[in-house]
């Protein structure tokens, strides 16, 4: 990875931080997209201590807000004209329904729209690399996910944590497969990964109603180091240089759910995401739930 630039979102804790550290140790320059300045500073210190003397940097912003996701991506694009690997790892799970300033349900905004916006804003930079990769962290929870296009923001149905989360993870795989289709014939590949049930800060933030999960996390979850293995493997393995549109579990390509393989659903999700981004970009104020409900 010497001489290569890797952009990672969600890299100040858990598998993202482990992946960033391993890639930095292998010689890569790391650019972090982070929300918390103190955690970003600690991660940068860790990266500087493990690898060669390259300039690792952090770009701060709340990726759940579309304007900030766009700004963060543009700042990264300016700092790295050529990007070799983009890892979309930012994500969260929320015990209660929350709405972003854009009027989007928080799980959908952070787990899907953030990666959609950042990826599309950095495509030109990725295309400048001899061979570039986009890796998106999904989950086997996508197998129970349902995407209701008449209520993507769960404003009409009763909100449940795992309904919102599993739907967002389904979005990750659908987005990856549609992106791979659109990138056919280019030097850029796109794949999704399931890191496993990982014991990280992910399940410790805003636990609330999820407190009952804590014993399960402590009992069954794997370490961040083990969880990051598939993420790093798909990002760097020479054997995967031309592999695109796949879903990886334990470093092996496996079939995702039937819905995740439906190209018509993936295409429709892309169109909806594009329209949400376009509406948000054209407004100085919130997209508004009244507008978003049509999706």
Can 165 be counted among the known catalytic residues? Answer: yes
Q: Is the pLDDT of residue 295 over 50?
A: no
193, 138 Cβ separation under 8 angstroms:
yes
Of the candidates 103, 106, 124, 227, the one whose C-alpha atom is nearest the C-alpha of residue 168 is: 106
* Distance from C-alpha of 136 to C-alpha of 113, rounded to nearest angstrom: 12
Tens of pLDDT, residue by residue over 16-60, are 999 999 999 999 999 999 999 999 999 999 999 997 778 999 999
**Cβ neighbourhood burial of 220 (10 Å; 0-12, 13-18, 19+):** exposed
CB 97 within 8 A of CB 105: yes
Average pLDDT over every residue of 128-152: 94
Sign of the alpha-carbon torsion through 210, 216, 222, 225: positive
Domain ranges of the chain: 5-292
Model confidence pTM above 0.85: yes
Q: Is the Cβ–Cβ distance between 80 and 7 less than 8 Å?
A: yes
C-alpha distances in Å from residue 263, one per residue of 144, 146, 180, 252, 267:
18, 15, 11, 22, 6
Whether the predicted pLDDT of 98 surpasses 70: yes
Looking at 159, 165, 203, 247, which residue is catalytic?
165
Give the CATH number of domain 5-292; options: 3.30.70.360, 3.40.50.300, 3.40.50.720, 3.40.50.970.
3.40.50.720
Mean pLDDT of the chain: 88
- Tens of pLDDT, residue by residue over 143-163, are 999 999 988 888 878 889 999
d(CA 213, CA 204): 10
How big is the CA angle at 220 (ends 214 and 222), to the nearest 5 degrees?
105
């Amino acid at each position: 990875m010497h001489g290569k630039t890797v952009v990672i979102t969600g890299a100040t804790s858990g598998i993202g931080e482990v992946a960033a550290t391993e890639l930095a140790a292998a010689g890569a320059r790391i650019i972090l997209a982070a929300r918390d300045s103190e955690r970003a500073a600690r991660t940068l210190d860790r990266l500087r201590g493990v690898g060669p003397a390259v300039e690792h940097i952090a770009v701060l912003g709340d990726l759940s807000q579309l304007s900030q996701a766009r700004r963060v991506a543009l700042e990264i694009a300016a700092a790295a004209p050529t990007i070799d690997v983009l890892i979309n790892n930012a994500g969260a799970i929320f015990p209660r329904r929350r709405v972003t300033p854009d009027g989007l349900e928080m799980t959908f905004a952070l787990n899907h729209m953030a990666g959609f916006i950042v990826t599309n804003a950095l495509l030109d930079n990725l295309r400048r690399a001899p061979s570039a990769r986009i890796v998106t962290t999904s989950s086997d929870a996508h197998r129970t996910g349902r995407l209701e296009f008449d209520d993507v923001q769960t404003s009409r149905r009763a909100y449940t944590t795992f309904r919102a989360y599993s739907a967002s993870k389904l979005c990750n795989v659908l987005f990856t497969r549609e992106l791979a289709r659109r990138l056919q014939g280019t030097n850029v590949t796109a794949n999704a990964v399931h890191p496993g049930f990982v014991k990280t800060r992910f399940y410790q933030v805003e636990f609330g109603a999820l407190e009952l999960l804590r014993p399960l996390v402590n009992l069954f979850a794997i370490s961040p180091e083990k969880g990051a293995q598939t993420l790093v493997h798909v990002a760097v393995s020479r054997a995967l240089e031309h592999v695109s549109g796949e879903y990886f579990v334990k470093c092996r390509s496996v079939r995702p759910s039937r819905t995740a393989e439906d190209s018509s659903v993936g295409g429709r999700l892309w169109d909806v995401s594009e329209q949400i981004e376009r509406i948000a970009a054209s407004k100085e104020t919130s997209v508004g739930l009244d507008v978003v409900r049509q999706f």
